[in-house]
Structure 1
Amino acid sequence: RAVQALKPDQRAPLVLRDIEGLSTAEAAAILDLGEAGFKSRLHRARLAVRDAVRDYLPEDPER
């Protein structure tokens, strides 16, 4: 659900890189993005997913 709730411009990088396992260069090329822009979108997507599932994860005392 957290991935489905992402905006399409965030969901696509996350799916291509973290689920499909493509390299950054491959995924950026598919989306017609530079690698820096791709990495930025991927980072924002990962943060959004982390925030969405935070309440369901055990607390990490080291963080």
Structure 2
Amino acid sequence: MKEAGMRIRVEPELREEFTEACKRQHVPAAQVLREYMREFVKSQPKVRKPKPKSKSETA
């Protein structure tokens, strides 16, 4: 699986509290963020992509 990087800006205090909480739980911060992202995406309604029009519909 290929991975893509992501860079975000957060307040220094939030970053510090988050990394400390992750350390207390013995879990990498990146893992927590990935899990949150997956759950967030799952919770969103599915958006249907429109089907491309066939040649007969465009003529």
Range of TM-score over shorter length: 0.3 to 0.5
- Structure of greater relative contact order (alpha carbons < 8 Å, 6+ residues apart): 1
| Structure with the higher fraction of residues in helix conformation | 1
Quick check: which has more Rg, 1 or 2? 2
TM-score calculated relative to the size of structure 2: 0.39
